[in-house]
Structure 1
Amino acid sequence: MFKDGRIDKAEAGQLLKGLNSQKTPVAIVGMGWKSPLSDNYNDIWDVISNKRTLIQACPKDRITLAAQLLGGLDTDECNYHYGAILSDIDQFDYELFGISHEDASLMEPSHRIMLQAAYRALEDAGYLSSDRRNEITGVYIAANFTANKIINYLKYIGDINMKSYMLNWTSFLATRLSNQFDLRGPSTVIENSCVSSALALYEACNLLEMGKITSALVGGINISHLLDKRIVLNEVFHHAPDIASKCFDDEPGGNYPGEGAIALFLKSLDKAVVDQDRIHGIIRGIDTNNSGGVAIDFLQTSSEMITQVVQGALIDANLRAEDITYVDGEGYCERIEQALEVKGLINGFQTSTQKKQYCALGLSSVNLGYSEAMLGLSNAVCCVLALKNKQIPPVYKFDTPSSYLDFINSPFYINDKLKDWEVEEGKKRIAASFSCGYGGGNALTIFEEYIPDEQNFQPWIKDYYLFCISGHTLVSLQQTVSKFTEFVKQYKDTESANVLDFSYTVLARRQHYSPYRLAVVYRTFDDLHDTLSQWIVQNRSSRNIYYDKKRRKSVAENRDVEQGMLSSFTKYDMRKIAEYYVNGYSIDFNKLFHDEQPRLIDVPGYCFTQSKCWIGG
């Protein structure tokens, strides 16, 4: 109707808003992030909220590996970039993923790291051990592979054959995840410079909205073998190592590379609520476009097209610009580029509001490194963490506002201190993430905090409770028990401490391995902490500790065991269930909670048993 002149642009916008008011938003129910700091996304909030940085000298282990791949023995630190660089890309738990050490050593490192980030996202969502054969889960992974044409892992494998070739094939980055985790929807890799992961998110959200898929695993990865400053592709990161990146500043300094891998597990909001998922945040709207021929140069940003992508995202979200009170920017610290980006954002916001300096403008990539293909997801997680913590993070460095920008007469201000995120009563906190890339790609994603319905809390009172944990290796079991011991020590004294939610998360929503298994029967969290501490020292069974090394067994193999287990659940006999568990039997712990309404909570992740997997390693 708009194209043939029957309605004008304003009427078309109102029509789209009416249609979008009926759309179901997308829920983020699982997150995983492998960063140079850890593989716990909560650590990222500690970095950005406390004005810390992951930028440091190139790790010595990476210099050694890079020197090997570059065909020389140059280990002079001066020739390698500072940045947020992973130190352990040669480490991998090949046994856990059912891959031989030989194949893992031949495999391109980005495949291994993406596997572990995806594991964390599914674990966080509580779906790692779920049977997903009846689900249609799409996999969309963002990555940049062009640089690998110059230096890649495959080139330095002495014997290139079909097996080594397949283990390094770039398009298998997504399909490998589908195979590993039995995800049976469409699976694809998206490569489009620094807007890649935003496009992966866009693809997943659209297919979820259309009902073509029931869930999605969206990932992004940035791993570089090109850490040497003398390689031409690294010119965007070439500056003195003591130069600080400063966002929206008259002297922005420059950029530092950021490595890592991120994965998000998504569902429609309606389905996530029905499935009683823990919802980290909501994707309210998303839009992407390309600058086409509007930009003066192929590598330059177009303010005009950024304005349009802002408008498109607002329409998709059925929101006004003044509803958004925090924006995480693109992150490329170059004065003219930042001016073009921010002017596009300003114009986009001012099409629906004339309100001044009400929205904080941030740049988390200054703290975390410029992560290229992963950038859209990096910003997404930082926005979600800000929403969950109800705080607006400060910019890392900021001295003098760019003279190219008039912030005073714009919707934006630069927030340089951590502040509580206040909103009017009845309103929700809403954030946006902007990313763009060489070649003209632009994307804006809008996130909203999730406020669950109030739940009538009924104390789950039992004589005894059960804690079960396992390991495919003794090292993994010991390290995971240590993490839980520290967690329980902190958790037991919090207002949110809840034995029902804790038990449900650990027993029913986490993966249980063999052969190493530990079960503890306890009365209180203090009791559990003391018992776990005791096991760490003694590594053996005692009155309330059940520990053994047994192969996995199926209950169906033994009718008597099946009947005995049912009787144990009926009687709530925790000691008997503990015995079945450490003897290797697969147990459906959901039977313990069928009359309850437990919620998934944040508990420590499973500890990988890492081994060196590298050419010649």
Structure 2
Amino acid sequence: MSRKNMKHSSSSCVDPLDDNDKVAIVGIGCRYGDGVAGPREMWRMLKEMRDCTTSHPAERFDKSSFFFPGNKKKSKLYTERGGYLKQDPFMFDRQFFRMSPSEAEHMDPQIRILLEVVWESIEDAGIPASTLRGSNTGVYMGVTANEYLALTGLPFSNIGQYTNSGTNSCMISNRISYEFDFRGPSFSIDTACSSSLYAVQVACDALRGGVCDTAIAGGVNIILTPSVTIGFCQAGMLSPDGQCKSFDESADGYSRSEGVGSVLLKPLKRAIADNDRIYAVIRGGALTNDGRTPGIANPSFDAQIDLVHKACSAAKVDPREVVYIEAHGTGTRVGDKTEANAIGEAMSKQRSDDTPPLYIGSVKSNVGHAEGAAGIAGVIKTALLLYHREIPGVVHFQRGNPSINFEDLKMTVPSTSIPWPAD
């Protein structure tokens, strides 16, 4: 990403990247824990370095039936915290979307909330939604959870004419295209934690290839049952205190969280011509896979280095010139170690001594790990960071993970907010 200054865009340097390949973020909609709603609230939360995790909402499920602190007891939870939306996921302004009570009732809350947040991202861009009706607008949404059918599908007598159209994962994106009358491609993408990042990359590629003229990209994750959390507790992946302590020596797992994020994307040339407010510019990206590792949940050091090199090559950026990277940073000891060391090896180890260090952060320290909506939270944070020219501190960071050689890798985790380097 890079920041586009509309009033001072001239430069003595020749940008090797063709302007046709640059994509502008012109609208943002989001909802995360602690009542964060919209880019202004998101930025305030980042500036204040808030931890947005809370105890499991009592109305979701009876915590006393599942919570067993201290160890991995079968079919139980050892953590009672997560990042939960303040909004009741079942509340929905169905009349605004001209929807019958029965259709709304059978619709996955993830679709309901995403419809509202997509509208907010269009509104944030200053574009009347009516002007996009019938347009070649693509929709690309990341989603990993599909709990609503399991919650409501039994007994079978609960199943109605709108059950399939309201709970199928393809409808996460297709319903948006339907309600807003978008005529471009419509994809629901599930690549686990990277789902919403994949969505952004696929959307950008579609814009660059002329497949669509405008794109909506993002992701959603709502926790309705304890089942997935129990599974992660059994695998020992979650932090007992429900905090993501990204890159810290006390990191002991991550915190599951809810979230919804949506960005409105346009080709940069068109955004400038339309006089849009531009949060940031996406220059390029890459998609890879770790391949075979010691375990399916284990990351690959070499594969992550390869990914960084491919992304920087696509963006025509020298890795040593990057000032900040928003990492996955879940707060697991092995994951943080592998990722940070790979990033440092690829991006900052070869920096000269008079070059500023590479700053590294993770929004998961604020909002937890929102899974299908995790990557888009990082995209939104980075866009706001560039727009406001300030790097927020990482919550819970006190002493670095000893398995990460920050000094030799010329890499720093900011513990307080710092201004964006002047150069």
Give yes or no for TM over 0.5: yes
Where does residue 431 of structure 1 map in the other structure? none
Matches of 1:159 and 1:228, distance apart in 2: 21
| One-letter amino acid of the structure 1 residue matched with residue 204 of structure 2 | C
Aligned residues of 1:281 and 1:387 also touching (Cα < 8 A): yes
Matches within 5 A, 1:578-589: none
Counterparts in 2 of 1:233 and 1:339: CA distance versus 1, 3 Å: closer
Matches of 1:315 and 1:75, distance apart in 2: 48
Highest Rg: 1 or 2? 1
Where does residue 385 of structure 1 map in the other structure? 384
TM-score (norm 1): 0.60
1:289 is paired with a residue whose SS is coil
Matches of 1:93 and 1:146, distance apart in 2: 22
Match of 1:306 among 281, 304, 307: 304
Matches within 5 A, 1:330-341: 330-341=328-339
Where does residue 9 of structure 2 map in the other structure? none
Deviations 1:285-339 (A, max 9, x none): 211211223x332221111111111111111111112332111110221111111
Identity of aligned residues (%): 24
2:402 is paired with a residue whose SS is coil
Counterparts in 2 of 1:20 and 1:349: CA distance versus 1, 3 Å: same
Matches of 2:68 and 2:107, distance apart in 1: 27
| One-letter amino acid of the structure 2 residue matched with residue 307 of structure 1 | I
Deviations 1:205-263 (A, max 9, x none): 1111111110101120011223368732444564433x643221222132111102111
1:285 is paired with a residue whose SS is coil
Where does residue 5 of structure 2 map in the other structure? none
Structure 1: gaps of 5 or more residues: 1-16, 68-72, 425-617
Structure 2: gaps of 5 or more residues: 1-13, 70-76
| One-letter amino acid of the structure 1 residue matched with residue 43 of structure 2 | W
Displacement of 1:370:
0.5
| One-letter amino acid of the structure 1 residue matched with residue 52 of structure 2 | L
Counterparts in 2 of 1:320 and 1:115: CA distance versus 1, 3 Å: same
Aligned residues of 1:119 and 1:128 also touching (Cα < 8 A): no
Where does residue 574 of structure 1 map in the other structure? none
| One-letter amino acid of the structure 2 residue matched with residue 27 of structure 1 | A
Matches within 5 A, 1:598-613: none
Matches of 1:154 and 1:198, distance apart in 2: 30
Aligned residues of 1:331 and 1:370 also touching (Cα < 8 A): no
Matches of 2:178 and 2:378, distance apart in 1: 28
Aligned residues of 1:141 and 1:174 also touching (Cα < 8 A): yes
Counterparts in 2 of 1:369 and 1:156: CA distance versus 1, 3 Å: farther
Matches within 5 A, 1:560-599: none
Matches of 2:38 and 2:95, distance apart in 1: 21
Where does residue 327 of structure 1 map in the other structure? 325
Residue 257 (structure 1) aligned with residue 227 (structure 2) = no
Counterparts in 2 of 1:184 and 1:45: CA distance versus 1, 3 Å: same
Matches of 2:350 and 2:113, distance apart in 1: 42
Aligned residues of 1:220 and 1:377 also touching (Cα < 8 A): yes
2:276 is paired with a residue whose SS is coil
Where does residue 589 of structure 1 map in the other structure? none
Where does residue 163 of structure 1 map in the other structure? 162
Matches of 2:416 and 2:155, distance apart in 1: 47
Residue 207 (structure 1) aligned with residue 184 (structure 2) = no
Counterparts in 2 of 1:412 and 1:157: CA distance versus 1, 3 Å: farther
| One-letter amino acid of the structure 2 residue matched with residue 197 of structure 1 | S
Displacement of 1:44:
1.6
Matches of 1:351 and 1:409, distance apart in 2: 7
Where does residue 534 of structure 1 map in the other structure? none
Aligned residues of 1:141 and 1:218 also touching (Cα < 8 A): yes
1:360 is paired with a residue whose SS is strand
Aligned residues of 1:117 and 1:262 also touching (Cα < 8 A): yes
Displacement of 1:164:
2.0
Displacement of 1:351:
7.8
TM-score (norm 2): 0.87
Counterparts in 2 of 1:216 and 1:308: CA distance versus 1, 3 Å: same
Where does residue 31 of structure 1 map in the other structure? 28
Matches within 5 A, 1:6-25: 20-21=17-18, 23-25=20-22
Counterparts in 2 of 1:77 and 1:385: CA distance versus 1, 3 Å: farther
Where does residue 453 of structure 1 map in the other structure? none
| Larger RCO of the pair (alpha carbons < 8 Å, separation 6+) | 2
Matches within 5 A, 1:81-96: 81-87=80-86, 88-96=88-96
Matches of 2:163 and 2:357, distance apart in 1: 54
1:194 is paired with a residue whose SS is coil
Where does residue 349 of structure 1 map in the other structure? 347
Where does residue 231 of structure 2 map in the other structure? 232
Where does residue 122 of structure 1 map in the other structure? 122
| One-letter amino acid of the structure 1 residue matched with residue 85 of structure 2 | L
Counterparts in 2 of 1:324 and 1:331: CA distance versus 1, 3 Å: same
Where does residue 296 of structure 1 map in the other structure? 294
| One-letter amino acid of the structure 2 residue matched with residue 200 of structure 1 | A
Matches of 1:22 and 1:111, distance apart in 2: 34
Matches of 1:21 and 1:353, distance apart in 2: 26
Where does residue 374 of structure 1 map in the other structure? 373
Displacement of 1:369:
0.9
1:118 is paired with a residue whose SS is helix
1:139 is paired with a residue whose SS is strand
| One-letter amino acid of the structure 2 residue matched with residue 136 of structure 1 | N
Where does residue 63 of structure 1 map in the other structure? 61
Matches of 1:31 and 1:113, distance apart in 2: 15
Where does residue 403 of structure 2 map in the other structure? 404
Counterparts in 2 of 1:404 and 1:74: CA distance versus 1, 3 Å: closer
Deviations 1:438-493 (A, max 9, x none): xxxxxxxxxxxxxxxxxxxxxxxxxxxxxxxxxxxxxxxxxxxxxxxxxxxxxxxx
Residue 194 (structure 1) aligned with residue 193 (structure 2) = yes
Q: CA RMSD in A?
A: 2.6
Aligned residues of 1:24 and 1:270 also touching (Cα < 8 A): no
Matches of 1:201 and 1:229, distance apart in 2: 25
